[in-house]
């Protein structure tokens, strides 16, 4: 990753890491260009910040929860990041909530636990669609029918 790339971190929060049945999706409320689209909770890593610490911070700020990390969901770029948009790459981990009930405190106005068959029932940010498929393939045995 070059020096001008912005690193974003996000969590594919599952109801359980060993036997997951639901994935938590969050609907953006801001900025206007992204509002209404669904994403994995997370945000930008601050200068000098450890990426996993950044994700812990973002999930506390955005959802009011603490998490345990699962596995990295490896992306296609050299640092196992996912391309999201120009100048931005994203690291994604599976995670489960260890403390708190998730509520949309900041940047989101709705949360939804999606079953495998409903993973594509919400309009994800475009860059997240292949990530949702990768999560489905690795944790839900590939069950993520795309709408026809």
Ligand X SMILES: Nc1nc2c([nH]c(=O)n2[C@H]2C[C@H](O)[C@@H](COP(=O)(O)OP(=O)(O)OP(=O)(O)O)O2)c(=O)[nH]1
In contact, 90 and 129? CB cutoff 8 Å? no
Q: Which is nearer to ligand X, 39 or 96 (CB)?
A: 39
Residues 54-83 that bind ligand X (CB under 6 A): none
If you ran DSSP here, which 8-state letter would residue 122 be given?
A: S
| Binding status of residue 44 toward ligand X by CB under 6 A | yes
Tokens of 96: 């489960």
Stretch that binds ligand X, among 68-76, 85-93, 114-122, 135-143 (CB under 6 A): 85-93
DSSP per position, 48-72: T--HHHHHHHHHHHHH--EEEEEEE
The angle at the Cα of 39, spanning 141 to 89, to the nearest 5 degrees, equals: 90
Q: Shortest approach of ligand X to residue 39 CB, angstroms?
A: 3
| Binding status of residue 39 toward ligand X by CB under 6 A | yes
| Binding status of residue 89 toward ligand X by CB under 6 A | no
Beta-sheet pairing, 6-14 with 108-114? unpaired
Query: Which residues would be at the binding site for ligand X (CB under 6 A)?
Result: 8, 10, 34, 39-40, 42-44, 84-85, 88, 90, 107, 125, 127-128
């Amino acid at each position: 990753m070059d020096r001008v790339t912005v690193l974003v971190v996000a969590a594919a929060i599952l109801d359980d890491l060993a036997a997951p049945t639901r994935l938590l999706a969050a609907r953006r409320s801001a900025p206007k260009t992204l509002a209404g689209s669904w994403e994995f909770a997370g945000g930008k890593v601050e200068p000098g910040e450890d990426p996993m610490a950044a994700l812990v911070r973002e999930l506390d700020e955005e959802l009011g929860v603490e998490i345990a990390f699962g596995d990295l969901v490896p992306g296609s770029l050299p640092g196992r990041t996912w391309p999201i948009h120009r100048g931005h790459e994203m690291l994604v981990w599976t995670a489960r909530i260890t403390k708190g009930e998730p509520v949309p405190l900041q940047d989101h106005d709705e949360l939804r636990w999606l079953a495998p068959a409903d993973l594509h029932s919400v309009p994800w940010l475009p860059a997240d669609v292949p990530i949702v498929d990768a999560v489905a393939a690795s944790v839900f045995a590939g069950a993520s029918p795309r709408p026809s």
